[in-house]
C-alpha cells in the first residue's frame, strides 16, 4: 500500500499480517479523498483504524492532528510503525474498542473535522446504532463522517448523506450535519 497524495505521496505503509485487518485499497482511498476535498489543518478521528491508512493519508494531505483508535495489538503496532517511518507528527494512537473511545470523546465534548469509520464489514450492522448515538456529537459543525462498508450496505446515521459511492466490494458514504 502506498500513500496516494500529499507530503508523503508514494511512500509505502504496512498492514498487520493476517486476515483480521482489511486495509482500504489505494484506489478507494484516493476516491474517498477526492470526495472529501481539502483537509488542511483538520482534526481527524480514525475509528477501527486498522493499518492507519486513512488517517495517515489525511496527515499526509495536511491534517493537523489525527487520533487513531484500534483494538488489535498488531494493528496498533503497524500504525505506530507507519507513523514513525513517515515521521508524521500530530498523531495519537489508542489501543481500545472504537465504540468505547467514540463514546468517551463525545462525553468529553471533543469534536473533529473528519471522522473516518471503517469497521470490519461483518460488524457494521451491530455497531451502527452505537455509532448513530455518538457520531453527531463528535462531528464539528462543518465536518464530515466517512463510512466504509461492504458495497451492498447503505449505512444509516442521523446525519445528512452528502454522497455514497460504490468502488468494487466497498462503499464510501459521506455524512454531514444537516444544513
Give the pLDDT of the chain (179 residues) as one tens digit per residue.
766 666 666 667 777 665 555 566 677 888 899 999 999 999 999 999 998 989 999 999 999 999 999 999 999 999 999 998 888 888 999 999 999 999 999 999 999 999 999 999 899 999 999 999 999 999 999 999 999 999 999 999 999 999 999 998 899 999 999 87
Query: Which pLDDT does position 119 carry in this prediction?
Result: 93
pLDDT at 109: 96
Measuring CA to CA, how many Å separate 46 from each of 41, 43, 92, 148, 152? 15, 10, 10, 12, 23
DSSP per-residue string spanning 102-160: HHHHHHHT--EEEEEE---GGGHHHHHHHHHHHHHHHEEEEEEEEEEEETT-----SSE
The total of other beta-carbon atoms located within 10 Å of residue 150's CB is: 15
Separation CA 167–CA 150 (nearest Å): 10
Query: Measured between alpha carbons, how far is 25 from 120 in angstroms, rounded to an integer?
Result: 14
**What domains can be seen in the chain, in order of their start residue?**
26-176 (3.40.50.150)
Cell representation of residue 20: 483480521
HSE-CB at 23 with a 13 A cutoff on CA atoms is 23
Instruction: Name the residue with cell 491508512.
Output: 53
Amino acid at each position: 500500500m502506498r500513500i496516494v497524495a500529499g507530503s508523503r505521496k508514494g511512500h509505502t505503509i504496512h498492514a498487520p499480517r493476517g486476515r483480521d485487518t482489511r486495509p482500504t485499497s489505494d484506489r478507494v482511498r484516493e476516491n474517498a479523498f477526492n470526495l472529501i476535498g481539502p483537509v488542511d489543518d483538520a482534526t481527524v478521528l480514525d475509528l477501527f483504524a486498522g493499518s492507519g491508512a486513512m488517517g495517515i493519508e489525511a496527515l499526509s494531505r495536511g491534517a493537523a492532528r489525527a487520533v487513531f483508535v484500534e483494538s488489535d495489538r498488531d494493528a496498533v503496532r503497524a500504525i505506530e510503525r507507519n507513523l514513525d517511518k513517515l515521521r508524521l507528527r500530530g498523531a495519537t494512537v489508542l489501543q481500545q474498542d472504537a465504540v468505547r473511545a467514540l463514546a468517551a470523546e463525545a462525553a468529553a465534548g471533543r469534536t473533529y473535522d473528519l471522522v473516518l469509520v471503517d469497521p470490519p464489514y461483518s460488524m457494521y450492522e451491530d455497531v451502527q446504532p452505537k455509532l448513530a448515538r455518538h457520531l453527531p456529537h463528535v462531528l464539528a459543525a462543518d465536518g464530515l463522517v466517512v463510512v466504509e462498508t461492504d458495497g451492498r450496505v447503505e449505512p444509516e446515521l442521523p446525519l445528512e448523506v452528502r454522497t455514497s459511492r460504490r468502488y468494487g466490494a466497498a462503499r464510501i458514504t459521506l455524512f454531514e450535519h444537516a444544513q
